[in-house]
Amino acid sequence: MKTCSQPTKLKILLATSNPGKLAEYRQLLQNFHLVTPVDMRLNITLAEPATTYEENARLKAVTTARLSQLVTLADDSGLEVDTLGGKPGSHSARFAGNQANDTDNITLLLSLLKDVPWEGRTARFVCVIAVAILNGKVELFHGDCSGFITFEPRGTNGFGYDPVFYLPELGKTMAELPLEIKNKISHRGKAATKALKFLEKLYDRSL
φ, ψ of residue 170 to 5 degrees: the values are -110, -15
Cα(108)–Cα(179) distance, rounded to whole angstroms?
A: 26
Cα(190)–Cα(195) distance, rounded to whole angstroms?
A: 9
Q: Which of 39, 76, 82, 162 is catalytic?
A: 76
CB contact set of 99 (below 8 Å; sequence gap of 6+)? none
Cα(101)–Cα(103) distance, rounded to whole angstroms?
A: 6
Which residues are bridge partners to 25 per DSSP?
A: none
Contact of 155 with 172, CB cutoff 8 Å: yes
Q: What is the DSSP letter of 6?
A: P
CB contact set of 3 (below 8 Å; sequence gap of 6+)? none
Question: Is residue 115 flagged as an active site residue?
Answer: no
The distance from CA 8 to its chain's CA centroid, rounded to whole angstroms, is 26
Which residues are catalytically annotated? Answer: 76
